[in-house]
Copies of this chain bind each other. A is one copy, B any other.
Amino acid sequence: MEYPSKAVQKAVESFKSLPGIGNKTAVRLVLHLLKQNSDSLKQFELAVEGLRTEVKYCQTCFNLSDHERCAICSSQNRDQGKICVVQDVRDVLAIESTGQFTGAYHVLGGVISPMEGVGPDDLKIAQLVDRVKNGNVSEIIFALSATMEGDTTIFYISKQLKEYQVQITTIAKGIAIGGELEFVDEITLGRSLLSRIPFDV
């Protein structure tokens, strides 16, 4: 399509490069921005610029951070001895939003996947082993996807951690809260039967 303005065209193409945004949505977003006043457009620019210039990765847990060490890793209120191992930054946000975890994190940056050419050296596994080796880590909690790749990654890391005094756990797999039993797939249902837990009255 021929756009009436080169600047508009450039903006539409930039927005189109974002995931899940096609041509029509990109045009809608750009026209929305054009309707804003100069100040809020400037705010938007600064926010995007901030992503490039201000955001770092925590050198301990590889979570997003404004500093060399993220707020969670440097907090006195978090149990630094419990490390929850996750695939990426989004999982940290998801777990934080539950408000159920008071330990620290370790962001692997992916899972081992020979199909996609991701090996152990592409992930922050050595850094996790170092944390266990150096510090007072009592528990490693794996919160990875319940897939073949996730399980492979847990198995690989667990073997590396075998020689250290550290408890290894994974988050529970079973039926979702509020889920109707008849719609649960049989593998999950079978597994949730095998991993049944005592019910205390």
Q: Which residues of A contact B (CB under 8 A)?
A: 1-8, 10-11, 13-14, 17-21, 25, 27-34, 38, 40-52, 54-56, 58, 63-66, 70-72, 88-90, 92-93, 96-97
Contacts and interface: CB of A to CB of B under 8 A. Distances in A.
A27 B90 contact: yes
A56 B11 CA distance: 14
Task: State how many copies of this chain the complex holds.
Answer: 2
Contacts of A32: 18-19
B6 A66 contact: yes
Given A28-B20, A50-B7, A96 B14 contact: no
Q: Is the interface of A mostly helix, strand, loop or mixed?
A: helix
A52 B45 contact: yes
Contact of A50 (B11, B42, B96): B11
Given A5-B66, A66-B6, A71-B4, A90 B49 contact: no
A61 to B, nearest CB: 9
Nearest to A6: B66
Given A5-B66, A20-B25, A20-B28, A51 B41 contact: yes
Contacts of A56: 5
Given A1-B96, A27-B93, A28-B20, A51 B65 contact: no
A34 B56 CA distance: 10
